Structure formats: C-alpha cells, structure tokens
Structure 1
Amino acid sequence: MNLQLGDVSHIIQLAIAPVFLLTGVGTKLGVLTSRLARIIDRARVVEELLQKNPDHAEDLETELEELYQRSHLINRAITLSTTTGLLVCLVIALLFTGDATGLALDKWIAALFVGGIFSLIGSFIYFMREIFVATKTLSRQHQRDKIRRLSRQT
C-alpha cells in the first residue's frame, strides 16, 4: 500500500460531501434529543400533577398518552438519524479504504450512501409526525382551556 499525496487529497475531496451530510445529521440529532428531553420533562410534570389532582385525571392521562406517543416518534427519528450517521461514516471509511487498497468498493459505497439517505428520509418523516402530534396536542389544550374560561365566566 503506497499512497501518494495526490491520492490522499483526491480521497479527501471525495469525502467532503459525506462529511457535510454528517455535520447536518449531527445537528439534527442535537435538535431531536433536545425535543426528547423536553417531552420527558413534561411527562414527569404531568405524572406528578396526575397524582396530586385526580379530578383532572382524564385530561392529564390524555396529555400523558400524547407525550408517550411523541417520545416514541422522536425515538424512531433519533434511531434513524443515528443509522444515517453510521452509514455515512462507513461511506467515508470505504472511500479511503477502496482508494488506498485499489479495491472496487464503488457498489458498496453507493449502496451505503443510498441506505443513509433513505434512513435520513425516514427520520424526517418521524420528526414531522411528532410535530403534527405536538401541534394537535397544543390545539386540543387550547380548546379545553378556552371552554374552561367560558364556563367560569357564566
């Protein structure tokens, strides 16, 4: 295995696009884990409220169920984003390995990259579903609070 400086610079040029993708995936993972942490924090608060206020049990249990649903969706998005990161790292490693050893790994590289993109698409789909559930929850809570305010005024 005799690498020339020109070979290494060529490999690095090929790896630039996957590295940028990896940076984006890392940023997305930060967003997803922050959302998961906020969901978990809210679930803990709702569980405490449920123990202290059994008269609002129906509303709190509904919210808790929605929080569990959101956490499962975010968990899937995190899993798929992590899978994307892993596959992109493998693409970068195979780019270097293939070029350094002269092995024809182009089909493996292409398959891993496409797999990573499909995984990223799946992650975005689950993220979007979680946003829809969160928006629905917020809308439902707003309607409930509006009805309570109106009933107090009468």
Structure 2
Amino acid sequence: MDMQYQEYNIRLSIDSRLEQVRVLSGALRGIGQELSLSAEQLGQLELMMVEAVNNVIEHAYQMQGGNDVQVRVEYSPQEVHLVISDRGHTMPDELHSTARDMPNPEDLPEGGWGMGLIHLLADSIRYSSDAKGNHLHVSKQLV
C-alpha cells in the first residue's frame, strides 16, 4: 500500500522534564521524514509541538518532573493533527482563545510567546479538559 494513502495514529510519551523535549522533537522529525513531509511542514509541526510541550512542563506541571506528557500524531494525506495531553493545571482561557494574531509583547507574561506562535502556525486549535486530563489539539493542513 502506498504510504501517501495510509493514515497513522502514533503515540509518544515523555516525563515532564525539559531535557526530554529534545528527544521528543527528534522522534517527531523521524516520523515526519517517514511520512515524507516537507522541511517547512515538519519545521512548523516541530515548533508547535515543542512550544506546547514546554508550556505543559513549565505551567501545567510547574517544572516538576515525574509527570506524564503525551503527544499523539495523527496523519492523513490532508493534514497532521497533534494532541498534547497532560494531567496538570489547566490552561487559562485567554491563552487558547481563537485569536490568530501575535499577542502584544507587553501583554505577555514572561515566556508567553508559545501559544502566540502556535496560533500563527496552526490551521486549527482546540483545547479541552476532561477526566483524563487537558488536551491541546493543533492541526496543520498539508494540501
């Protein structure tokens, strides 16, 4: 079967330590190469994932190791969908609103660029919390 027509659902998990984000990033690069994503598509996906996972570690888990951060990569020929999940503190509403503009730097807390970058790069964003934790869904169109 030609890989262009297969769909994938890949799950990755790391401990909530910043030094593990680089390993996760390498795994996503490997997945992207296997799926023949362009360098630009892969770079954007990697930046969105790294920013989201860093936010989870820094804010949801307050830099405490020993917590699970999960990333699910769903691929179809039309889009790549990332789901970043945690069981930490929920994200404030204003950070995951539907605004697509880069926030005013003066309005941002220290290190608050992550969600602004994600909003600029993603084609869709959705955040939810349920009994299983918090879930940030970001999608990038491929066509």
**TM-score above 0.5, yes or no:** no
For the pair shown, the structure with the greater C-alpha radius of gyration is: 1
| Structure with the higher fraction of residues in strand conformation | 2
TM-score, with length taken from structure 2: 0.31
